[in-house]
Amino acid sequence: MSGARAPLVEVFASCQGEGMQVGAPQVFVRFAGCDLQCGYCDTAYARAAPEQCAVFLPGGDEKRLPNPVSLQTAVNAICELADADPMLKSVALTGGEPLLHADYIAELAPEIARRGLRIYLETAGHLPAQLEMVISAVDTVSGDIKLHETMETPVAYELMAEFWRVAVRTDAFAKVVVTDRVSLDGFRRACAALGASIRMVPVVLQPVTPTGQVRPPAPEMLWLLAREADRWFGGVRVVPQCHRLMGVR
């Protein structure tokens, strides 16, 4: 293993709260830093690196690792959690935006996979070149599609299409957070721009968890969005953020 280091916020075990694998027990590794600004962000604390990464151990104990964290130290922390509970068979690399640390993940993921754990990458879905650097080591890509109506600084849909052309090499699915600002026309424009890149990709529409002024769509609108999604994607589900409902991290 090289001496590469990356800023981490926390390492912990929990149930996956979003997307197609909702409810799956996983070890989470939260990377610090993000280059986007979503109005509904629920991990704003992960945008800047803390001085220390918190590792939440079984039984409620906690330990602190100085940042940035070396590969070997990260592998040890992940394995300490996974070894303590055999139902943990998967590691979610999340953020912030984990692909800002693609070179680190390209080394970390194979090390974890060698220990029999599956690699699940949660990303905002706008960094195709960085995804290419890690794709061979990833089992599942959970990629967001950030609708322009929900973003202060929108990402070009062409860049997202490029991302999906890489992501489909894994067991990938898309996640679209929808708010009351999303219109049917705006959603249709996004789907049309992504075109063939998403045709085989299942999608989860995630009604936003109310935060500040941000609200989910009305139920009738959610139904129309789901029906539209079904026309463009490889299947549709509507799933809210379940970890927030359960009150877990």
- Binding residues (CB under 6 A) for ligand SF4: these are 34, 36-38, 41, 43, 95-97, 124
To the nearest whole angstrom, how small is the minimum distance from the Cβ of residue 175 to ligand SF4?
A: 11
Count CB neighbours of 62 within 10 A: 10
Distance CA 87, CA 64 (A): 24
Return the SS3 of 130. helix
Nearer to ligand SF4 by Cβ, of 34 and 167: the residue is 34
Helix (DSSP H) and strand (DSSP E) numbers for the chain: 7, 12
118-123 sheet: strands from edge to edge:
62-66, 52-56, 8-15, 25-31, 90-94, 118-123, 140-144, 173-178, 203-207, 236-238
The region that residue 140 occupies, defined by phi over 0 for left and psi between -120 and 50 for alpha, beta otherwise, is beta
Nearer to ligand SF4 by Cβ, of 44 and 218: the residue is 44
Helix (H) or strand (E) holding 120: strand 118-123
Nearer to ligand SF4 by Cβ, of 47 and 188: the residue is 47
* Mutual angle of helices 219-232 and 184-194, in 10-degree steps: 20
- Tally the C-alpha atoms within 13 A of residue 9's C-alpha that lie toward its C-beta: 20
To the nearest whole angstrom, how small is the minimum distance from the Cβ of residue 43 to ligand SF4?
A: 5
Nearer to ligand SF4 by Cβ, of 18 and 97: the residue is 97
To the nearest whole angstrom, how small is the minimum distance from the Cβ of residue 21 to ligand SF4?
A: 18
CB 129 within 8 A of CB 5: no
CB 188 within 8 A of CB 182: no
To the nearest whole angstrom, how small is the minimum distance from the Cβ of residue 114 to ligand SF4?
A: 29
Nearer to ligand SF4 by Cβ, of 127 and 198: the residue is 127
Nearer to ligand SF4 by Cβ, of 82 and 150: the residue is 150
To the nearest whole angstrom, how small is the minimum distance from the Cβ of residue 46 to ligand SF4?
A: 6
To the nearest whole angstrom, how small is the minimum distance from the Cβ of residue 115 to ligand SF4?
A: 27
